[in-house]
């Protein structure tokens, strides 16, 4: 090993020796001068002492250990307690891991060689409805920070208000979309700034005690996220800095992250030393031209090279091949940063899972080119979704990191045991339409025209739109210009003696809003149309982020707007909500002993119908597992009331949903599936011990289907 690659506190020994020598000389001269001055010698000649200030600064930095905790930037380096420090970090998001597993995942990150954890704070997780604050369970960020402190891991906290993160609405709470007049997001719009000031006025005082100076792990706080890729509103950024400084003081380093281009940095940074500008760029790009560019957007001496998102993998949308990146290439480019004293944060160190309805979405050329994210956020990270680390990427990155870490790395833990519990038989308990017809629902809204979900206080899940119309002998043509995101259309007769469930006639999707022919039902009364709209995740990046859900335009029947609508919210449980509050899914639980008999021998003859299927997973020993949904169509699943996420194996690539052990209990575990179309013909799912991303046709890649 060459002398240039041996590290102490993250700095090459060669450079460290040079700096130490320089500082020793300066300190010796300084002490000699003090001695001479004490005796009055040479006083006139050295009265001004022009170098005294810098010498004192350096000496104070070197002697700060044991005096006060301090994390700062100087000489284009990070300094921790007076010593040069190299950030070798990784993103690990507390809201994508059950709290029972936080310590387990942090220990795996530490064994990888990381000294810093970076995490976002999603506003929508902590304030799901206006004024309702949630800081318990998976939203207990303070316990997460305490764990980082306990494990001697520093924290870079990304407080938003916008976070991206492939998270619904980029972390913004969906109730912002219901405000009239509309709030201009990510801008200096006074209405938006007031909302951010109120939210940060709650959050930031709660975390200030966790700042490094105050004995906590937080060394840096990021405001906004890649703003240069979105806008050019310096007043907005200055507002954020002022709010942050008011609550956090002047000692915490504030930082921004922007893509490594001059345009992005011009728009996303603030000149001067009020805030540190970090960069991100594609893994495989030469890092050092990006770091040289970064230096232009920081004050002199205030630009330690930092890739705050060093990509270890990539995200995957439904209908795409699962993302994979080469372990050797990833490790090689990390070493290009670390070997020259640069700092890096792995994005992601551990991806985790988009439990509930919080997975986000992206767009292509326009907002109809809609690309929702998987439930899994594995990200091809070195620590896999279930915590596994026995993989080439973890090993390759750890070998590189070990070269640039003075102390020996922590021992590598073994993979957590997973168990295949086998076949789970299910039974159909109710059609959604049975529940709608038999349950006394609060919250039905009537309106001349369809309303957006958010306008009705419905932030996630589904909305059922119902209206009546006069049938025509030759049928009618239905057209919905704008639906977000996917609508299944059913028709029936309005008469009370009509006992059949509504008949499925077609699906309208955001990316394929073609017309649907409504056949003549030969009703003796008027016809009734049911449109079940699914919110598949709000856009989290780009110009179309203002992403309301539901039917967002008139509904046309033979060219004429159809009016007089009833709207019924069907929310289900989300990640941070009480599992006992939802009447829809509770009704499905109650009827578990009253199965609906169906002949499902041929899915070809089975009429698509949104229905509930229930069964029990028997557990003798509680371990992690995965549920395979091969043969099912599309829907959402709950175990013991916990929303484990969306499934869509007919589209792929994700076949299996991850079920962490803390969700399970010994004995019977209740599984409820809301299937939108057709179930597995044999009515079962399988508990297996591995992930699977091979569902859907390979021809689906980058191609939408309904």
Query: Does position 30 have pLDDT exceeding 90, yes or no?
Result: no
User: Average of pLDDT values for 598-607?
Assistant: 50
pLDDT reported for residue 607: 76
Place of tokens 């991806």: 351
Output the six-digit token pair for 393. 């990427």
Chain-centroid distance of CA 691 in Å reads 20
pLDDT reported for residue 105: 98
Per-residue pLDDT reduced to its tens digit, 498-544: 668 899 999 999 999 899 999 887 887 899 999 999 999 999 999 99
Residues in a beta bridge with 88: 344
- What is the DSSP code string of 572-640? ---TTS-TT--HHHHHHHHGGGSPPP---S-GGGPPP--EEEEEEEEESS--BEEEE-TT--SEEEEET
Residues in a beta bridge with 307: 279, 344
User: Average of pLDDT values for 392-407?
Assistant: 97
pLDDT reported for residue 676: 98
CATH of domain 422-427+587-688: 2.60.120.260
Q: How far apart are CA 342 and CA 85, in angstroms?
A: 10
Active site residue 666: no
Confidence tier at 585 by pLDDT (50, 70, 90)? low
Per-residue pLDDT reduced to its tens digit, 340-350: 999 999 999 99
- The three-state secondary structure class of 242 is helix
Active site residue 100: no
Query: Does position 252 have pLDDT exceeding 80, yes or no?
Result: yes
pLDDT reported for residue 702: 42
Give ranges for CATH 3.20.20.80 in the chain: 86-404
Which is catalytic among the residues 127, 166, 224, 226? 226
> What's the whole-number average pLDDT of the chain?
88
- For residue 128, CA distances in Å to 169, 172, 353, 642 come to 12, 9, 19, 17
188 contacts 149 by C-beta, under 8 angstroms? no
Per-residue pLDDT reduced to its tens digit, 51-67: 333 433 444 454 444 56
Query: Does position 33 have pLDDT exceeding 60, yes or no?
Result: no
Q: How far apart are CA 666 and CA 659, in angstroms?
A: 14
pLDDT reported for residue 267: 98
Per-residue pLDDT reduced to its tens digit, 547-573: 999 999 999 999 999 999 999 999 887
Instruction: Identify whether 181 is preceded by a cis peptide bond (ω within 30 of 0).
Output: yes
122 contacts 161 by C-beta, under 8 angstroms? no
Per-residue pLDDT reduced to its tens digit, 119-155: 999 999 999 999 999 999 999 999 999 999 999 999 9
pLDDT reported for residue 84: 98
Q: Which CATH superfamily does the domain covering 86-404 fall into?
A: Glycosidases (3.20.20.80)
Q: Tell me the fold of 443-577.
A: Jelly Rolls (2.60.120)
Per-residue pLDDT reduced to its tens digit, 207-242: 999 999 999 999 999 999 999 999 999 999 999 999
110 contacts 394 by C-beta, under 8 angstroms? no
Query: Of 78 and 497, which is predicted with more confidence?
Result: 78
Query: Does position 320 have pLDDT exceeding 90, yes or no?
Result: yes
Phi-psi region of 404 (alpha: psi -120 to 50; beta: other; left: phi over 0): alpha
Query: Does position 280 have pLDDT exceeding 80, yes or no?
Result: yes
- The three-state secondary structure class of 245 is helix
Which is catalytic among the residues 166, 309, 577, 677? 309
Q: What is the pTM of this model?
A: 0.89
Measured distance between the N- and C-terminal CA atoms of the chain, rounded to whole angstroms: 57
Give ranges for CATH 2.60.120.260 in the chain: 422-427+587-688, 443-577
pLDDT reported for residue 560: 97
Nearest CA among 678, 506, 681, 530 for reference residue 607: 678
List of E strands, 282-342: 306-311
Nearest CA among 367, 317, 702 for reference residue 542: 367
Handedness of CA 695, 625, 534, 633 (dihedral sign): positive
């Amino acid at each position: 090993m060459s002398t240039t690659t041996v590290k102490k506190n993250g700095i090459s020994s060669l450079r460290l020796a040079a700096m130490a020598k320089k500082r020793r000389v300066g300190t010796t001269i300084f002490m000699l001068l003090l001695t001479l001055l004490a005796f009055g010698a040479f006083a006139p000649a050295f009265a001004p002492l022009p170098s005294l200030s810098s010498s004192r600064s350096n000496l104070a930095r070197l002697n700060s250990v044991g005096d006060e905790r301090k994390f700062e930037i100087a000489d284009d380096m990070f300094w921790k307690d007076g010593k040069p420090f190299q950030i070798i970090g990784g993103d690990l998001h507390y809201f994508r891991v059950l709290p029972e597993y936080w310590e387990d995942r942090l220990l795996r990150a530490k064994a990888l060689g990381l000294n810093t954890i970076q995490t976002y704070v999603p506003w929508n997780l902590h304030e799901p409805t206006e004024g309702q604050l949630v800081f318990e369970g998976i939203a207990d960020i303070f316990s997460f920070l305490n764990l980082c402190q306990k494990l001697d891991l520093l924290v870079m906290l990304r407080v938003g208000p916008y976070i991206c993160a492939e998270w619904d609405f980029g972390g913004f709470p969906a109730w912002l979309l219901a405000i009239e007049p509309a709030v201009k997001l990510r801008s200096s719009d006074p209405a938006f700034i007031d909302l951010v000031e109120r939210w940060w006025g709650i959050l930031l005082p709660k975390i200030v005690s966790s700042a490094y100076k105050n004995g906590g792990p937080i060394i840096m706080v990021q405001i906004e996220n890649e703003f240069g890729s979105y806008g050019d509103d310096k007043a907005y950024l200055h507002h954020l800095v002022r709010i942050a400084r008011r609550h956090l003081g002047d000692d915490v380093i504030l930082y921004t992250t922007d893509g490594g281009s001059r345009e992005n940095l011009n728009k996303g940074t603030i000149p001067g030393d009020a805030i540190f500008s970090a960069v991100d760029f594609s893994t495989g790009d030469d890092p050092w031209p990006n770091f040289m560019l970064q230096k232009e957007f920081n004050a002199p001496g205030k630009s330690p090279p930092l890739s705050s998102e060093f990509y270890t993998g990539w995200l995957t949308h439904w209908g795409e091949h699962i993302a994979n990146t080469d372990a050797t290439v990833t490790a090689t480019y990390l070493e290009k940063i670390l070997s020259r004293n640069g700092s890096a944060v792995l994005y992601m160190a551990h991806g985790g899972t988009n439990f509930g309805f919080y997975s986000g979405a992206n767009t292509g050329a326009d907002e109809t080119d809609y690309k929702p994210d998987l439930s899994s956020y594995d990200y091809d990270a070195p620590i896999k979704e279930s915590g596994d680390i026995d993989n080439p990427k973890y090993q390759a990155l750890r070998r590189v990191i070990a070269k640039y870490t003075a102390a020996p790395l922590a021992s590598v833990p073994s993979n957590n045991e997973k168990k295949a519990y086998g076949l789970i038989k299910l039974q159909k308990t109710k059609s959604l339409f049975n529940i709608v017809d038999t349950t006394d629902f609060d919250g039905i809204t009537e309106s001349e025209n369809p309303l957006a979900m958010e306008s009705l206080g419905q932030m996630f899940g589904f909305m059922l739109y119902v209206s009546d119309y006069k049938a025509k002998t030759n049928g009618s043509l239905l057209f919905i210009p704008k639906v977000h995101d996917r609508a299944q259309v059913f028709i029936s007769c309005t008469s009370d003696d009509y006992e059949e469930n509504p008949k499925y006639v077609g699906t309208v999707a955001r990316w394929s809003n073609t017309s649907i022919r409504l056949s003549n039902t030969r009703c003796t009364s008027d016809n009734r149309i049911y449109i079940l709209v699914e919110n598949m995740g709000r856009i989290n990046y780009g110009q179309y982020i203002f992403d309301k859900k539901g039917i967002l335009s008139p509904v046309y029947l033979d060219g004429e707007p159809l009016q007089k609508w009833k709207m019924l919210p069907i929310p289900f449980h989300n990640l941070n909500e009480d599992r006992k509050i939802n009447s829809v899914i509770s009704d499905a639980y109650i009827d578990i002993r009253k199965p609906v008999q169906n002949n499902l021998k041929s899915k070809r003859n089975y009429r698509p119908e949104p229905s509930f299927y229930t069964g029990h997973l028997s557990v003798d020993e509680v371990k992690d597992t995965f549920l395979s949904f091969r043969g099912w169509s599309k829907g959402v699943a709950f175990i013991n009331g916990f929303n484990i996420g969306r499934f869509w194996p007919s589209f792929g690539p994700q076949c299996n949903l991850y079920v962490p052990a803390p969700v399970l209990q010994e004995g019977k575990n209740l599984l409820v599936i809301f299937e939108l179309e057709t179930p597995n013909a044999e009515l079962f799912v399988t508990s297996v011990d591995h992930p699977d991303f091979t569902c859907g046709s390979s021809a689906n890649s980058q191609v939408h289907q309904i």
